[in-house]
Every structure is written in structure tokens, then in C-alpha cells.
Amino acid sequence: MSDVWSPGLSLRESAGRCHLTLAGLTYGVGFSLQEAADDLIARLVGIVLGARSSGFQHTAELGPPDLNLVEFISELGDIAARGEDIRPRVFTGAPSPG
């Protein structure tokens, strides 16, 4: 089984709230880790479905895109478009069962 790349996740607490960050993409905030994860996933679903529908275009001024990140976004977009939960892929690196 080959290794599956995922961006790093980081967690910090500030003012009684959890801040969960998926490096290079988005974040989630909540009073519990579960709330922060729910917020992160909601934001991420919007990003990956938006990228999927637009063809994930980028500007040349920013240089070449990170191909690992592009593949990750594409994979999550496919999972979300099938109506499946992206959480296993985001939080454990496990591929979707579907």
C-alpha cells in the first residue's frame, strides 16, 4: 500500500476556543475540538467543490502550484461530489470506502 500525502494539521487553543488548521488550505474554530473539526470540514467542502467546478485555476504570478495539494483537493472534490464524507481522508489519510 502506498503512502497517501495529506497537508499537516495543527491545533492550538486561544481564548477558550480550539483553532484547527489544515496547512495551506483552511481552518476551523470552535469551543471544542469537534466543533473546530466540523467548521474546518464545512469550509473545506466549499473549497474542494468550488475548485472542482471551476477546474482549479491558478495565476502564473504565484508560480507553479503544489502538485500534492492539487491532487489532495481533487481527491476530496471527487469524494464530496459523490456525497461521501471527506473526514476519513482529511483526518486519517484513509481513502474513501466508496
Asked if residue 92 belongs to a domain, the reply is no
- At 21-47, the pLDDT tens digits run 999 799 999 999 999 999 999 999 999
Asked if residue 3 belongs to a domain, the reply is no
Asked if residue 91 belongs to a domain, the reply is no
What single string gives the DSSP state of each residue in 14-80? ETTEEEEEETTTEEEEESSHHHHHHHHHHHHHHHHHHHHHHT----GGG-S--HHHHHHHHHHHHHH
When divided into structural domains, the chain yields a total of: 1
Enclosing domain of residue 16:
9-84
pTM: 0.86
Asked if residue 36 belongs to a domain, the reply is yes
Asked if residue 72 belongs to a domain, the reply is yes
Segments of the chain scoring below 50 in pLDDT: 1
Asked if residue 93 belongs to a domain, the reply is no
Asked if residue 98 belongs to a domain, the reply is no
Nearest alpha carbon to residue 7 among 90, 64, 85 = 90
Asked if residue 23 belongs to a domain, the reply is yes
